[in-house]
Amino acid sequence: MITIVGVFDKFAPAQSARNALLVAGFSWRQVQLNPDHEVVPKARTAEPQPGDQSVQTTMGNLVRGLFGVGIRSAHGDLYGAPVRHGDYVLMADTDTEDERAQAEDIMRRYQPVDLSRRQT
């Protein structure tokens, strides 16, 4: 199995890409969007905010979704940073080369963020 990952800076294109994957025949079990709802941006401060627990929960769900319960890896850090930044991470599990290509094509249509070009 290969997991295809797309990072989106807005919820609408992420949700549209998820819906397009489902329409294309991917199952609900194969497609995961984190967070799975639109998040209202908050002002960034050094002090914890009341909603920070939901970000921690989302991060935990993302890492578990990518790598299983309790496993920590560089990939979790790579895709966790966009969620902390306020982005949406869409993952599609694929079993064949055709599914992989189809998932990549669908995500590309909705203009995911190019993480290699993003300034930190």
pLDDT digit string (tens) for 33-56?
988 888 776 555 555 555 544 554
Structure confidence at residue 42 (pLDDT): 57
In a domain, 114, yes or no: no
Q: What is the pLDDT of residues 58-113, one digit of tens each?
A: 545 554 454 444 434 444 555 566 666 778 999 999 999 999 999 999 999 999 98
In a domain, 34, yes or no: yes
Whole-number Å distance between alpha carbons of 41 and 76: 22
In a domain, 96, yes or no: yes
**What percentage of residues in the chain have a pLDDT greater than 90?**
42
Helix, strand, coil percentages, rounded to 5, for the chain: 45, 15, 40
In a domain, 88, yes or no: yes
In a domain, 55, yes or no: yes
Confidence category of residue 22, pLDDT binned at 50, 70, 90:
very high
Range of the domain at 30: 2-43+50-109
Look at residue 87 and give its three-state secondary structure: coil
How many domains is the chain built from?
1
In a domain, 58, yes or no: yes
Pairing of strands 2-8, 88-94: antiparallel
In a domain, 115, yes or no: no
